Amino acid sequence: MKRSALGKGIAALIPEAATLRPGAVTEVPIGEIRPNPLQPRRQFAAAALEELADSIRRHGLLQPVVVNRAAAGGYELIAGERRWRACRLAGLERIPVVVHEAVPDADQLALALIENLQREDLTPIEEARAYHHLRSELGLSQEEIAARVGKDRSTVANALRLLQLPLALQEMVDAGELSAGHARALVGVHDGDRGEAIGRRCAREGWSVRELERRLQPPARRPARPADPETEAAAERLALALGVRVEINRRRRGGEIRLRFASEEELIRLFRALAGERR
């Protein structure tokens, strides 16, 4: 099935207030508009909404929301859910909208995603879930997603990796307790329980991303002490006598000799040599 192209992108469906043509905007009852189920954004801060609602009470809604005429009647939001929610808080009965007909799901989701990305309104996890929906439900490749939202393919790929985090850590990122940088560092922890424990401690103690990365580094291995020439010579002599690789490891008190064999036959031969048995 051929996918619908976005053409000029979000600007084609979301005009700026200064460039609206006469008659391009109409007013509809706010109760006839319902949220877009494809909206990637799930977090709407109550304090910020109330602040926007107060501005709308004083100045009105300066930029219309964009809606799709629904087949079952009424309208479905394509872009502007935050403004629509604030208008409801402000008590508006009618709001200005730009109405479009039969916008495909792929374009609705891409437009909602682009609008939020341009305003930096999405959490890193919301952004990743939107990319995942575009890929799994609408069949878009990472390259196609990147082209639609104006991002590099690597940016899309790195965002999708965040969905590998345990759900508890995803919720912490959504809540702003962990940043995208923290999340990217924690993706590398393959033990989910350990990653969650480290993430909670990181949030609780306020670690920076650099501090988290430092703590996730494996402990540095202590360099082995170089063997003295006499020990190396003894190991070589034993290796020649036994026909296997020999390591002599000396400690402060005592040490060990390691003999490495490559097959069952070599083990039997080595055993007989050490036990003094004749072949």
Q: Kindly list the catalytic residues.
A: 81
Q: Which two tokens stand for residue 97?
A: 């909208």
Residues in the chain: 279
Q: Is the dihedral of CA 123, 125, 128, 129 positive or negative?
A: negative
- Asked whether the beta carbons of 107 and 6 are under 8 A apart, the reply is yes
Residue 270 burial (CB count, 10 A) = 16
> Which residues have C-beta within 8 Å of that of residue 70, sequence separation ≥ 6?
34, 76
Distance in angstroms (rounded) separating the CA atoms of residues 159 and 113: 13
Phi-psi region of 45 (alpha: psi -120 to 50; beta: other; left: phi over 0): beta
CB 123 within 8 Å of CB 174: yes
Contact 165, 136 (CB under 8 A): no
100: nearest Cα among 4, 225, 210? 4
